[in-house]
Structure formats: C-alpha cells, structure tokens
Chain A
C-alpha cells in the first residue's frame, strides 16, 4: 500500500526549461512534505519542504506547491540545469520533527538534456 506515489519513473527536460515533478499521497494525516535529491552511489539529500499550512514554498530555482484537497504536491525547477539530473524522492511525515521517520515515494529520475 503506497501512501506516497510518484507515478512518473522518469522525466526528460531540456536545459533551461521548467521541470515539474509530481507526487500524490493518500494518508490525510501527513502534515509535512519534503523533496530529496539523489545522485548515484550517494545518499538522498534534502532539497525543499513544505508544511501543510502552506500551499507554496520557494527556494531559489526550486518551488514546491501543495494542494491539500487533491492530496497532491509538485516540485518545479526553473530553469533546469544539467546538475539537476538525479532521482527525486517525494516524502511525507505525519508528525513534524517526530521520530516516526518519513514515508517515501519510488522516485522520479530527472534527466536534463543539453
């Protein structure tokens, strides 16, 4: 039973364009959402997060949008750069800062083409 779903295993975007990665969740108790980026042979690294009380959070080229009624969030990267090529994981937590850990999606492999 996947509580966090990333339905696109891969996404190819041209350099300079906008990359949009999507994530859906089923557990209405989730109140905190995060995006992680992972390069091969490395651990996931935190990218950006959003609390359920907000619908948008921006950090440089990265913006996360949250639609609570649709249980959907998305990560926008603009402009996309070659170094953005990586696997992006969506994650969710039911207790912010709690010891319950994070529930992850399967990831989307983003490929930025020159």
Chain B
C-alpha cells in the first residue's frame, strides 16, 4: 500500500503542451511538497502546501501551478512546457509540528521529458 503515489511515472511530451502530474498521500499528513530534480541532480523545493494552503512558492515560473483539492492531494500543472522543464518531479509529504521527526516521505518520482 503506497504511502505517497504519483502518476504518471513517465511522461514524454512536446514543447508547448500542457501537462499535469498527480500526487496522493494516504499517511494523513497535512503538508505536501513538490520537489524538482534536474540534470545536475539537485533536489530543489518548488512548492509547499499545508492543509490546502500554499506555504512556500520558490522562484518557479508562473507556468507551474500547484493545486490542492484536499490535504491528501497535491497536483502539479505545467503550461507551455519548455525543454528546460525536463526533470524528475518528486511529491513528498510530512506532518507539520515540532513533535515530529521532520522527515519527508517521497513518492517514486515522475520523469518528465520535453521534446
């Protein structure tokens, strides 16, 4: 029973298209994240949502729009895809609060290739 699941796992698309990646967690966590791992292997935070409210929005182009219909889901929609958007996108979750270990639980990643 997967704790953090992302779909699709692989996505190949043309430049200019719009695509979405979905994420769901069944851990009961109230905070969810999107991370991007680019060709240089850096894992960089893009967005953080706590109880459906946007907490962190790093310097990400406006073409990226996260949507959280409820605290168990955080989807990532990308408009007008560019070659530089090719990367592996990881969804993650954790429970907010100082009593927790602070560890993030990651999904398996979604590899996006823009041609």
Binding site for B on A (CB under 8 A): 32, 34, 36, 41-46, 49, 87, 89, 93, 95-104, 106-107
Considering the chains assembled together, what is the distance between the CA atoms of A100 and B31 in angstroms? 10
Chain A residues with Cβ below 8 Å from B43 are 44, 89, 104, 107
Count of A-B contacts judged by CB separation below 8 Å: 73
Nearest 7 pairs between A and B by C-beta? Answer: A43-B106, A104-B43, A46-B103, A97-B100, A101-B45, A99-B55, A99-B50
Chosen A-B contacts, 28 in total, with CB atoms closer than 8 Å, are A32-B102, A36-B106, A42-B109, A43-B106, A43-B107, A43-B108, A44-B43, A44-B90, A44-B104, A46-B103, A46-B105, A49-B103, A89-B43, A95-B98, A97-B96, A97-B100, A99-B48, A99-B55, A99-B56, A99-B96, A100-B55, A101-B33, A101-B104, A102-B45, A103-B45, A106-B41, A106-B42, A107-B43
A101 CA to B99 CA, complexed, in Å: 16
